[in-house]
Amino acid sequence: MAAQVCDLPTHLLRRAILGFALVAPIFTVLFYRTNALIALSVLFLSHILLLYPTLVPNSQWWGPVITSFETSRPQVWITIDDGPDALHTSKVLDILDRFRARATFFVIGKRIAETPELTRDITLRGHQIANHTFSHLSGSFWIFLPGAIAKEIDQCSSEIIRSTQTIAKYFRAPAGLKNFFVHPIGARRDLQLVGWTVRGLDTLQRSPEAVAERIGRKTRPGAIVLLHEGHRTADNPEFHLKCLELTLSKLAERGYEFVIPAPEQLRPHVAEK
């Protein structure tokens, strides 16, 4: 069903899902006494159609999500979420330098406010800053109403401008989860939503080797790789640094370059979730 539905233009698909969600409760009320099973099934289906594009990070149903880029060379785009971090960021930058890698950091606004100098260092050392909301409320951002979504995005953008004097071009929702309000809000701010082609699951895995192996196995030219910083700083502070180092080493051995693609190279495409 997903592949067939995704053949529709995004704006038509979006309207169809939202229209069906509005009509389904009315249908259920009118036909419940006639056939309760069918009436409730229609209501259930309307909820599934709302939840699928919201809870599946790379789903294109609400609008385009960039999950890869066009290239004829062995190139990948390294993206690092959840910084800046007082323990990790400077060391992450040193690792990237060793591999001559450029990366995009999807930063959290309140962390920028705490350590603005680290965000400046990211840009001064040739990397890119992108918006990852102000508070990173991954458990609730996907149910936010428009005002709260706009506030989270705008506050993060303000911190980025204040610390780096640059304007973010890209946005990634916390955990990639976004509802149908996010795309229009992002579009009004000239923000493109960026997902990933492959993630190492480094917030779940216990082995840096497993993270690097997973990424290496799934990476192809034009892939967007997702890693993190700022986690496990108390119990295992070297974990994310090892994940990054091993990942870059494994991909460099296969001849990959680590680049920030030009906007015209980016493409929405349903990829590994």
Q: Catalytic residue positions?
A: 81, 228
Q: Which three-class secondary structure state does DSSP give residue 133?
A: coil
Using an 8 Å Cβ cutoff, are 151 and 131 in contact? no
- Written as six digits, the tokens of 2 are 């997903």
3-state secondary structure of 202: coil
Phi-psi region of 261 (alpha: psi -120 to 50; beta: other; left: phi over 0): beta
> Does the N-terminal peptide bond of residue 84 adopt cis geometry, omega within 30 degrees of 0?
yes
Comparing CA positions, the residue from 53, 57, 70 lying closest to residue 10 is 53
User: CA angle 108-150-88, nearest 5°?
Assistant: 5
Sequence length of the chain is 273
Coil, strand or helix at 164: helix
10: region left, alpha or beta (phi > 0 left; psi from -120 to 50 alpha): alpha
Three-state secondary-structure class, residue 35: coil
Cα three-residue angle 62-66-68, rounded to 5 degrees: 145
Instruction: Tell me the angle at which helices 208-218 and 239-253 cross, rounded to the nearest 10 degrees.
Output: 30
